[in-house]
Structures are given as C-alpha cells and as structure tokens.
C-alpha cells in the first residue's frame, strides 16, 4: 500500500459523537487525500492537502474537517457523526514531482459505522 497506513481500520460509533481518522505515510509525498466509498457511488473526494497546513475541500466536504500539521499525517474529523457518514474511508497520496500528471496511491481503508 505504498507506505500508507490508516487507523483505526474499523470503528463503530454512535450518532453525535466526534470521530477522528488518521492517515500516515512514509513516502514524503506532498499531496494527501481523503475519499469515501459507498455502494453505487464512485470514490468521492472529501478533502485534500497540498502541503503542511494547506488543505482544500472536495466534492463531499460537509460535516468533515481535516488537519495536516506534519507532512506524514493527515487527519479526518467528523465533528458530530451521523448515520449518513457510515462508509469506507480511504486515504491516498500522490507525488509532487509533476502534479500535472500524477497517480494516487491508496491506503487500506477504514470502515466506519455510525449507529
């Protein structure tokens, strides 16, 4: 998985509780991404980062926030989890040598269930 780990791998939480998912990379790549994957939908971008403390919104960012204080770590926070946020969450990274043409490499995923 290209030196990408995600934690936790599985989590069950209750509606209204805060949840933080962590993505850690050992590749020293500049770009990091959070996606969610749901049946009937392609992978959808939640937020992404193009450097330490530099982040931007993706397609489905409502209800999520992110932080990146170090190159290797990218955190995704659900401030108050809802059942609609039950999903599988993937982190991805990409090289910054030529951002015009980049492949993204994915982590193993976190399965989150909100009850």
Interacting residues with another protein (CB under 8 A):
1, 4, 40-45, 48, 58-59, 90, 99-109
Residues 61 and 49 sit within 8 Å (Cβ to Cβ): no
Report which DSSP code applies to 38. -
Return the number of the residue (97 or 101) whose C-beta is nearest another protein: 101
Nearest approach in angstroms of CB 32 to another protein is 13
Which residues on adjacent β-strands are paired with residue 15?
Answer: none
Nearest approach in angstroms of CB 80 to another protein is 26
Return the number of the residue (45 or 75) whose C-beta is nearest another protein: 45
What would the two tokens of residue 70 be?
Answer: 């170090």
Q: Is 17 helix (H, G, I), strand (E, B) or coil?
A: coil
Nearest approach in angstroms of CB 58 to another protein is 7
Nearest approach in angstroms of CB 106 to another protein is 4
Return the number of the residue (16 or 37) whose C-beta is nearest another protein: 37
Return the number of the residue (11 or 44) whose C-beta is nearest another protein: 44
What would the two tokens of residue 9 be?
Answer: 């791998």
CA–chain centroid gap for 51, Å, is 14
Residues 18 and 10 sit within 8 Å (Cβ to Cβ): no
């Amino acid at each position: 998985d290209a030196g990408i780990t995600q934690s936790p791998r599985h989590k069950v939480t209750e509606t209204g509780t805060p949840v933080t998912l962590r993505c850690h990379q050992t590749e020293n790549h500049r770009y990091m991404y959070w996606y969610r994957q749901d049946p009937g939908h392609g992978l959808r971008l939640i937020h992404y980062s193009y450097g330490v403390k530099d982040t931007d919104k993706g397609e489905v960012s409502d209800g999520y926030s992110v932080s990146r204080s170090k190159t290797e770590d990218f955190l995704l926070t659900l401030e108050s989890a809802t059942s609609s946020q039950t999903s599988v969450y993937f982190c991805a990274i990409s090289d910054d040598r030529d951002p015009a043409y980049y492949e993204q490499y994915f982590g193993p995923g976190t399965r989150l269930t909100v009850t």
